[in-house]
Structure 1
Amino acid sequence: MKILYICHRIPYPPNKGDKIRSFNEVKYLAKDHDLFLAFLVDDPADTQHVDALREYCVDLAFAQIDPRAQKVKAASQVVAGKALSVPYFYSPKLQREIDAWASVQDFDAVVCFSGPMAEYVYRSSLWKKADRPRLIMDFCDVDSDKWGQYAQDAKFPMNLVYSLEQKRLLAYEAQVNRDFDHSVFVTDNEAQLFNNQVPDARNLTTVGNGVDFEFFNPGFRRGEACLAQDDESDHVDQGTARRAPTNLVFTGAMDYHANVDAVVWFCSDILPRITQAGIDAHFYIVGGRPAPAVQALAQNPRVTVTGFVEDIRPWYAKADLCVIPLRLARGVQNKVLEAMAMERPVVTTSKAAQGVGAKDLEHLWVADSAESIAATVIDLCRNPDTQRELGQAGRKFVVENFDWRRNMEKLEKLLS
């Protein structure tokens, strides 16, 4: 088959949630099909990764966008009644590239990753063809509902902006669902949420995420160069008989609002409760582009903000516990899956755990309030046997339930 794949962000390197899913879709579909790949680049540093994607496709096209300029452009469309997300992710340059392909290629299917990317189909000759290709939308999560969560958390006037975006984006998502042949979601819960909000929704399919079990392997050993700055904390000080601190690790893109909220909350309301209980803990915030609020957390001597790291595995290997206190979360959290695959015991919230489907107290531990999260971490810190058993059970669960190949086969069947 000849497939056009359009995604809102360069699907490489697979180091954050949306890129992990889109890259694995690209990699799987490229094995047996002719793939034409179109995407946006919103960080100039990511242009260095474009060539790495050429091995997966017949041809690729991309357009660089400036997030600040796109926000201004999107804001200008508010009075026109459009969802901000649609013009934000729209590039005339990328549209021209897609139109050029459409004029000479007979695509059998088009896969769009993220709702606003449907705009490139609507504005192309593909939409006008009587025998147009099969159209698949991978919504992944219900993005409109995220804006609703932001509205509840924000103050005036941004709460009104976010609330309006939720309504308008949901209307756009509903239109896409009517026009496309299939709508894909990452979990049954996300599909049901969409169906609840769009009662006449049609052709909803769940295609789950996966984990690269060989890459995220508990047998991996931490790299000396990556963690050289923290070597002293990894050993017992023989002179003072001081034990190494308990390493608590959080990973993710640290300019993403939900992640910023999680680590700021943890440092202000949860970490003090843990240390006051006598736990010598150190919190590592691992991920690129830390927002100013995250950078400020490094002033605490018990907190390390790493910024971008080439390989996330040494930091999982370093963790005694992975703490994922997300108060704003949708779908499957890849950071949860990766930590479990590495046999790290995980403490997270019910929102972050919901999409994974693991059992509380068996595969991971779930808590939602600052008090209960702190108590859970303290309990696990004092019970290394429980830590080990939880990590092993988590790895087993992920291996049995999150196989990329099996999940991608479901996506491929939708194209036929």
Structure 2
Amino acid sequence: MEPLLFLVHRIPYPPNKGDKIRSYHLLQHLARHYAVHLGAFIDDPEDWSHQDKVKALCASTCLLPLHPGRSKRTSLKGLWTGQALTLPYYYQAPLQQWVDAVIQREQIRRIVVFSSSMAQYAEKHPQAYRLMDFVDLDSDKWTQYAHSKSWPMNQLYRREGRRLLDYERHIAASFDASLFVSAHEAGVFCERAPLCASKVHWYNNGVDTHYFDPALSHLNPYPPAQIALVFTGAMDYWPNAEAVEWFGKTIFPPLRRLRPNLHFYIVGSNPTDSVRQLGRQEGIHVTGRVPDVRPYLAHAHWVVAPLRIARGIQNKILEALAMEKPVMASAQAMEGLDTQSLGPGCLTATTPEEWMTGAQPWIQGSPQRISSHRQWVMQHFDWTTNLKVVDDLLSSVQTGQTAP
């Protein structure tokens, strides 16, 4: 098989959070067609135990530790170089040396970059076909963060949003093609980088519907008589933490006054101190890392995704829909999903009043399974089907034609 270089900001396994779900399935797909040479960082010490799983898919790997505290200090170089802080955060000279060496040794003609922070390693190799998977518009996340922070962090985040957008535009212009996670996300970027529009494409994420299958049996993790609503996600990710804090303090208490047996489960790894403190509140449970989220989804009455800062596609929503669960989410979390055909079992709420009005009928009944949710996911979010755009773009290297 022909060689291909794949650069990822975080080891693409285990697929237990949004970016790693997409990068893992992309890696799997690429490995069926190419001899993949993978360069990636490991920022969670527990992920070192999964390196053999990743190496089995690759011709070679360069996996380097990334220490968040140290990298944050390093990122401050961007303040006097004029860069987005994201770039020095993810820059390590040994990875650049490995990239340069493997491209020369293997005569690599195809490079796939996952996340804008990794594009810097491929910039000096224009002789190769370079495909950029931005996934989300990261620059906009920083701008959203700025709205929720006070001085001086709001100014720092606003600067990061501007500088990172400049870099995203530069990469989209210089690389051969760019990808985003949804048509909506691609459209937003094209509005902000209109000169790059002809090279911008997108593909939906997928869901492993064999794994997230409501027909499978799971032990009920909830005590009898509880009405359980659940949020799933990595709890050291600030938008997730902010979402459950807002929901737990603003929406959940009045709902529980209506139904005292209502319980809110926050399921996900590495909860922050502020999230852990929510567990002291009556009716709120913070599980931390669990071996399997499916029991919590399968036996929940409904799933909530009250994110107020979000970009792209929320895998947590797709997984809940694949499990045939009712879902209630913010407009930001639903962005990029055409869920109008899903009916009353999928509700969008923004204000506290909308959350209360939408939730009250749901807390009265027993758990529901909504088969149309799963059918919708299977129709629109199949990995093999959606990744065909990657095949089409990379095949243009062989034909010498411009990618479609």
1:301, CA displacement in angstroms? Answer: 3.0
Q: Which residue of 2 aligns with 1:195?
A: 190
Q: 2:362 aligns with which of 380, 385, 390?
A: 380
Change (3 A) 1:363 1:55: farther
Q: Deviations over 1:44-78 (max 9, x none)?
A: 22111111112211111111011111111111221
Q: Distance in 1 between matches of 2:36 and 2:144?
A: 36
Q: Is the 8 A contact 1:114 1:138 kept in 2?
A: yes
1:31, CA displacement in angstroms? Answer: 1.0
Q: Deviations over 1:189-209 (max 9, x none)?
A: 111111111121231001110
1:285, CA displacement in angstroms? Answer: 0.4
Q: Is the 8 A contact 1:363 1:393 kept in 2?
A: no
Q: Which residue of 2 aligns with 1:241?
A: none
TM-score normalized by the length of structure 2 = 0.94
Q: Which residue of 2 aligns with 1:355?
A: 336
What is the correspondence of 1:13-412 to structure 2 with a 5 Å cutoff? 13-123=14-124, 126-127=125-126, 132-202=127-197, 203-223=199-219, 227=221, 230=222, 233=223, 235=224, 244-278=225-259, 280-359=261-340, 361-362=343-344, 364-384=346-366, 388=368, 391-412=370-391
Q: Deviations over 1:116-156 (max 9, x none)?
A: 11111125xx34xxxx1110000011000001101111111
Same amino acid, percent of matched pairs: 38
| SS at structure 2 position matched to 1:299 | coil
1:220, CA displacement in angstroms? Answer: 2.1
1:276, CA displacement in angstroms? Answer: 1.8
| SS at structure 1 position matched to 2:236 | coil
Q: Is the 8 A contact 1:274 1:375 kept in 2?
A: no
1:18, CA displacement in angstroms? Answer: 0.0
Q: Deviations over 1:313-365 (max 9, x none)?
A: 11111211001111111110000000000111101111111222111634511
Q: Is the 8 A contact 1:252 1:288 kept in 2?
A: yes
Q: Is the 8 A contact 1:363 1:397 kept in 2?
A: no
Q: Deviations over 1:383-402 (max 9, x none)?
A: 44xx636x222111111110
* Matched residue count: 392
1:34, CA displacement in angstroms? Answer: 1.1
Q: In terms of mean alpha carbon deviation, does 259-268 or 373-382 score higher? A: 373-382
Q: Distance in 1 between matches of 2:344 and 2:263?
A: 25
1:278, CA displacement in angstroms? Answer: 2.8
Q: Which runs of 5+ in 2 are unaligned?
A: 396-404
Q: Distance in 1 between matches of 2:364 and 2:263?
A: 15
Q: Which residue of 1 aligns with 2:13?
A: 12
Q: Distance in 2 between matches of 1:255 and 1:375?
A: 30
Q: Distance in 1 between matches of 2:345 and 2:376?
A: 7
Runs of 4+ in 1 over 6 A off after TM superposition: none
Aligned residue identity for 2:302: L
Aligned residue identity for 1:165: E
Q: Is the 8 A contact 1:5 1:35 kept in 2?
A: yes
Q: Distance in 2 between matches of 1:348 and 1:304?
A: 19
Q: Is the 8 A contact 2:297 2:325 kept in 1?
A: yes
Q: Which runs of 5+ in 1 are unaligned?
A: 236-243
Q: Which residue of 2 aligns with 1:3?
A: 4
Q: In terms of mean alpha carbon deviation, does 298-307 or 171-180 score higher? A: 298-307
Aligned residue identity for 2:87: V
Q: Is the 8 A contact 1:248 1:284 kept in 2?
A: yes
1:371, CA displacement in angstroms? Answer: 2.2
CA RMSD of aligned residues (A): 1.4
1:381, CA displacement in angstroms? Answer: 2.2
Aligned residue identity for 2:356: A
